[in-house]
Amino acid sequence: MRRDGLIVVAIWAVLTAIGEFAVVTWSMLPEGYAREADVVNEAYLLLLILAVPVFTFMLSMLGYSAVRFRSAGQPHDDGPPIHGSPKVVAAWLAITGGLTLGVVINPGFVGLADIRGSSSADMVVEVEGQRWIWKATYENGGLAEDELVVPIDTRIRFDVTSADVVHSFWIPAFGMKIDAVPGRTTEMFVTTERVGSFAEDGNLRAQCAELCGLSHSQMAMPVRVVERAEFEVWLENLPRDETGTEEGA
């Protein structure tokens, strides 16, 4: 029986090596345009790296048992009367408990603190969701409805609310989303770090991620990250929001 154990450990080691190699080299992660997206990707990768040995252990045990302890047809005898050993259970609890604690700390608490970052911002954009469009108002009163443009290397706070139902303001390329809730203002901090536009990367869009009725699918606004100077020019040319209040929903 010790031999069985050693073989499983060997299979496990090989599968884990392959798995970790695959996870690290063959990342499925899209490129981020904000610091927050990098935090997400880092946490994601760390969780994958931690999940691989767990997965391969179960797979090795399951696969090896299926081959080694398989009975051709209905078995005529029983396996050994092992009801389990307190030591194995205790060891298992210690290992899974330790792993869980590890995940809670990192990427858990570490990632949480990291993705929140500081609560100060270089600029504030007010965002309102209304079925099925986004409206972004800049600090100078400029109102953007067709495209959300933000400068690079800037910490931006989005103050998000909704005029009708619950929406969710999600910019996949920034790795962040926050619900737009009627009667509340929710905050989302993003620190831009790469230039790009929706035309180049479909993830640079402000997509509604919370079901909001008929045209929920199409509630998206292109996002563009530009150099500071370009942003200033764009902002100057933005029409001001002079209506003040919107018509009722």
CA distance 138 to 157: 11
- In angstroms, the CA 131 to CA 212 distance is 7
Residue 234 in contact with residue 147, Cβ under 8 Å?
no
Residue closest to 115 by CA, chosen among 1, 34, 56:
34
Closest approach of Cβ 188 to other proteins, in Å?
9
Size of the chain, expressed as the number of residues it contains? 249
- Looking at residue 193, its amino acid is E
Closer of 178 and 238 to other proteins (Cβ): 178
> What is the rounded distance in angstroms from the CA atom of residue 138 to the CA atom of residue 123?
8
Residue 1 CB neighbours (<10 A): 6
Q: Min. distance of Cβ 124 from other proteins in angstroms? A: 17
Nearer of residues 98 and 141 to other proteins, judged by Cβ: 98
| Complex with other proteins: residue 170 or 234, whichever CB lies closer | 170
Q: How far is the CB of 78 from other proteins (least distance, A)?
A: 4
List the structure tokens of 175.
Answer: 């790795």
Helix (H) or strand (E) holding 67: helix 35-68
Closest listed residue to residue 41, CA positions, set 49, 100, 220: 49
Q: Closer to other proteins at the Cβ: 111 or 151?
A: 111
The distance of closest approach from Cβ of residue 141 to other proteins in the complex, given in angstroms and rounded to an integer, is 25
Please identify, using beta-carbon distances, which residue of 27 and 239 lies nearer to other proteins. 27
Residue 195: count other Cβ atoms within 10 Å of its Cβ: 15
Tell me how far, at minimum, the Cβ of 96 lies from other proteins, in Å.
4
Based on CB atoms, which residue is closest to other proteins, 25 or 74? 74
Q: Smallest distance, Å, CB 67 to other proteins?
A: 10
